[in-house]
């Protein structure tokens, strides 16, 4: 049996090597190669680190459990294999109380632990700002996006309406995508609405997405922490051109954000657009058309 001192000297180089490897990892590697991080470690939002931590730590725990389980399976297959010359069945055991307790308690602890950490983080992620710096309404429709920047008065409320992505014969996008502009380091609350079917609002680098329902508003609060351009898309299969339901997000300085709102106001894009384009005017089964007249034929 090796002495404790020898074991200590054997483990020490392994610990040093592990620390050196982790120290050399980039922020992207330390966050499990998830999007939303750059070389200096600045996350895309105030919640991105939390989501990445929950994801990565869950995988680490599951990998440890997997290695132990695979190791025990391999040990059992080798240690209790049939030897040469053996015949008949091995000794049968009705139960092994310590093992059965172990295989009951450990999974229970894991499930409770996963639930506790998930519930804790989800509570924080789903807490909405009561008095945000910026209030925006994101409206989903087949197959594009409208964005309304809400102010205290209709005269200062501005909006932009988008169209779905258009591509050439090679699949390259050739038109300007709908763009959501956000100020950096400001509290943002987005009201999520749908015009027609269920959609899902997903800004990839923000590591979070939320569904958008008909007749029921959803909400998302966060603070963008890094300027840049981010890709967004619908994450819920919503029809034939679902893959073309794309948008961009521009996180800019506060001054650039104010200039953008002023430009929309100068274009005359003011007031409330929530009823300007209603995909549900022709309600199924009612015979009501978009202009309020009765339709004949199929209902």
Is pTM beyond 0.75? Reply is yes
Residue 203 lies in a domain: yes
Residue 278 lies in a domain: no
Residue 275 lies in a domain: no
pLDDT digits (tens, 9 = 90+) for 186-237: 999 999 999 889 999 999 999 999 999 988 999 999 999 999 999 999 999 9
Torsion angle of alpha carbons 249, 253, 255, 260, nearest 10°? -10
Residue 277 lies in a domain: no
Cβ neighbors of 2 (< 8 A, separation 6 or more) are 10
Domain count, the chain: 2
Mean pLDDT of 4-26: 54
Residue 36 lies in a domain: yes
Instruction: Tell me the three state secondary structure of residue 134.
Output: strand
- Parent domain of 35: 7-80+93-125
Say yes or no: 199 and 262 in one domain.
yes
Say yes or no: 100 and 176 in one domain.
no
* Residue 264's pLDDT band (cuts 50, 70, 90): very high
Residue 231 lies in a domain: yes
Per-residue exposure over 243-262, b if at least 16 CB sit within 10 Å of its own CB, e if not: ebbbbbbbbbeeeebeebbe
pLDDT digits (tens, 9 = 90+) for 167-187: 888 888 888 899 999 999 999
Say yes or no: 200 and 151 in one domain.
yes
Say yes or no: 189 and 252 in one domain.
yes
Say yes or no: 24 and 50 in one domain.
yes
Say yes or no: 161 and 240 in one domain.
yes
Q: How many CB atoms lie within 10 A of CB 144?
A: 22
Say yes or no: 173 and 255 in one domain.
yes
Say yes or no: 61 and 153 in one domain.
no
Residue 101 lies in a domain: yes
Say yes or no: 185 and 233 in one domain.
yes
Say yes or no: 39 and 117 in one domain.
yes
Residue 292 has pLDDT above 50, yes or no: no
Say yes or no: 165 and 260 in one domain.
yes
The CATH number that applies at residue 151 is: 2.60.40.420
Instruction: Tell me the three state secondary structure of residue 25.
Output: coil
* Residue 298's pLDDT band (cuts 50, 70, 90): very low
Mean pLDDT of 283-292: 45
Say yes or no: 138 and 261 in one domain.
yes
Check the CA dihedral 189-273-199-176 and report its sign: negative
Residue 212 lies in a domain: yes
Q: Please tell me the predicted confidence (pLDDT) of residue 74.
A: 94
Residues in the chain, how many?
A: 299
């Amino acid at each position: 049996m090796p002495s404790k001192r020898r074991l200590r000297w054997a483990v020490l180089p392994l610990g040093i090597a592990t620390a050196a490897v982790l120290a050399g990892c980039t922020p992207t590697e330390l966050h499990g190669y998830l999007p939303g991080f750059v070389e200096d470690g600045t996350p895309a939002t105030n919640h991105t680190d939390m989501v990445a931590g929950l994801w990565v730590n869950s995988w680490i725990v599951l990998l440890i459990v997997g290695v132990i389980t695979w190791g025990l399976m391999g040990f059992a297959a080798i240690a209790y294999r049939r030897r040469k010359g053996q015949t008949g069945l091995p000794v049968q055991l009705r139960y092994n109380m310590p093992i059965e307790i172990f295989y009951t308690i450990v999974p229970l602890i894991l499930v409770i632990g996963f639930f506790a950490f998930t519930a804790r983080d989800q509570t924080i992620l789903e807490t909405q700002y009561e008095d945000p710096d910026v209030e925006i309404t994101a409206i989903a429709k087949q197959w594009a996006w409208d964005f309304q920047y809400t102010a205290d008065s209709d005269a200062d409320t501005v909006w932009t309406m988008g169209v779905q992505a258009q591509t050439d014969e090679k699949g390259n996008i050739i038109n300007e995508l709908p763009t959501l502009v956000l100020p950096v380091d400001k509290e943002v609350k987005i009201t999520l609405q749908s015009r027609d079917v269920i959609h899902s609002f997903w800004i990839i680098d923000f590591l979070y997405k939320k569904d958008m329902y008909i007749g029921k508003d959803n909400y998302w609060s966060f603070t963008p922490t890094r300027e840049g351009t981010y890709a967004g898309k619908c994450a819920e299969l919503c029809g034939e051109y679902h893959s073309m339901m794309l948008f961009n997000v521009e996180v800019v300085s506060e001054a650039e954000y104010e200039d953008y709102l002023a430009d929309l106001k100068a274009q005359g894009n003011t007031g409330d657009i929530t009823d300007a384009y209603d995909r549900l005017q022709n309600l199924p089964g009612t015979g009501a058309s978009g202009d309020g007249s009765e339709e004949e034929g199929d209902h």
